Amino acid sequence: MNPTSDVVIEIAYLIASALFILSLKWMSSPATARRGLFAGEIGMVLAVGGTLLHRGILDYRWIAIGLVLGTIIGVPLGKVAMTAVPQRTALSHAFGALCVTLVGTAEYYLHRPNIPKFEMSVLCCEVILGSLTFTGSLMAAGKLQEILPQQPITYKGQNFVNLGLLAVAVILAVFLVINPGHSTLYPFILAIPLIFGVMMIVPIGGADMPTVISLLNSYAGLSAAAMGFVLNSKLLIVAGALDGSSGFILSVIMSKAMNRSFTNVLFGAFGQVDAAVKTSAEEKTYRSATPEEAAGILAAASRVVVVPGYGMAVAQAQHKVRELYDFLTKKGVDVSFAIHPVAGRMPGHMNVLLAEADIPYDKLKEMDDINGEFAQTDVALVIGANDVTNPAARNEQGSPIYGMPILDVDKATTVMVIKRSMSPGFAGIDNPLYYLNRTLMLFGDAKGFVNDILKEIGTSHH
């Protein structure tokens, strides 16, 4: 017995909990986000360090193997491109959930049949949430990485089958709580949620994956909090609760940004391509323009709103965009950036890129603040954004994105859209914006095209 190490562990956990809370708080503003990440990292080091001091640990060999394995998997995961962060995050949730499930299973087999009812109930919650989050997150990552088909797969009675499966798992869990010695039931409360996790994601389209991932984040957090009760760890309860609630709040914010209800996200089979919308695309006409023409229009404008999207991220065009911003601002043009809450592939994606290019924060305007201003805007310069500008969301009732709030770029005097082709964006649907009289298509890679505009501006001003 070494009570001093117990005190040290408790203090480490207490500081870690405080750091996790501060980390979330600081991460809510770009100005303090870096500090927030740092606080989270220190908190995690303290949490892991404190746990390693635990006197229940008699042999460090397995822990060392775990650390090495974790590092081998974790380091490359930390290096993925920014555009792959959503699926990377989903993978992290899968690992976390797998861990929670394995720990719960170990606890069950170590302590059965003498597990008090409360512990057994939280253990069941932990294992059910953990296993459905594990397979659900893997499915979500697969869909986002496009290893799995993005289209929702639906069949009649699907919700009934899915919810029925979950209900069976819950009923079996209740039996286990009443009689923890019934070990034959245990594999079922593990296996059924694993299947449910897969079935739950099958009917959800790619475009809803971000919301789903954030919801899975919340489940992973809740299962970790349940594990905290099983292992009697206050730190896990705090961290799990923070994770669970922040994930839930984020899913609500994202659902609102798409004007969808939770039930609609989970059971609505969003993202199914409307064949009628797809086929009509070829017949319409559009106008395109050269970098020279685009440069001329921009130079003559007095108000420009830049609308960045996923394509700007793919092309890594933010630094060129910054040069264009500098040039126009110097000329006295009023330039701002319109940020849609789900532009790109993760919440805050555009903010991160523009911050990286040192665009002043006060030039970034949120959707609700900027939408009223498009009517007084000379040029809306859309850079690799598509779905978030699609007017079909406003006026085509049959469209899969109908009801999603969009940036009203079509109200600007001139709309210029930089993208490589007429291909659709994430939702896989045509964009009527491109066929408007006021719209000019600027075909090319976002970085290359902005660079060409800069060259034109340069040549005409030297």
The catalytic residue positions are: 387
Q: List C-alpha distances in Å: 349 to 230, 335, 417.
A: 37, 20, 19
Q: Which of residues 84-103 bind ligand NAP (CB under 6 A)?
A: 86
For residue 279, the minimal CB distance to ligand NAP (Å) is 18
Three-point CA angle 44, 50, 51, nearest 5°: 90
Span from 53-61, 117-125, 336-344, 361-369 in contact with ligand NAP (CB under 6 A): 336-344
Cβ nearer to ligand NAP, comparing 193 with 400: 400
The reply on whether position 342 binds ligand NAP by CB under 6 A is yes
Determine how many CB atoms are found less than 10 A away from the CB of residue 102.
Answer: 14
Question: What's the CA gap between 143 and 150, in Å, rounded?
Answer: 5
C-alpha closest to that of 410 among 384, 386, 383, 390: 390
Cβ nearer to ligand NAP, comparing 175 with 435: 435
Radius of gyration of the chain (CA): 25
Question: In this chain, which residue has its C-beta nearest to ligand NAP?
Answer: 425
Question: What's the CA gap between 347 and 362, in Å, rounded?
Answer: 18
For residue 251, the minimal CB distance to ligand NAP (Å) is 11
For residue 149, the minimal CB distance to ligand NAP (Å) is 16
**Residue 133 near residue 219 (C-beta atoms within 8 A):** yes
Q: How many CA atoms lie within 13 A of 431 on its CB side?
A: 27
Burial 265-287 (b: 16+ CB within 10 A, else e): bbbbbbbbbbeebeeeeeeeeee
Span from 189-197, 326-334, 353-361, 419-427 in contact with ligand NAP (CB under 6 A): 419-427
Among 16, 216, 339, 385, binds ligand NAP (CB under 6 A): 385
SS3 of residue 345 by DSSP = coil
Among 127, 192, 446, 450, binds ligand NAP (CB under 6 A): 446
The reply on whether position 420 binds ligand NAP by CB under 6 A is yes
Q: Which of residues 179-238 bind ligand NAP (CB under 6 A)?
A: 207, 209-210
* Residue 394: both structure tokens together: 């406003």
Site string for ligand NAP, 297-326 (x = CB under 6 A): ------------xxx--xx-----------
The reply on whether position 152 binds ligand NAP by CB under 6 A is no
Which spans of this chain sit near ligand NAP (rule: CB under 6 A)? 86, 207, 209-210, 309-311, 314-315, 342-347, 349, 384-388, 418-421, 423, 425-427, 445-446
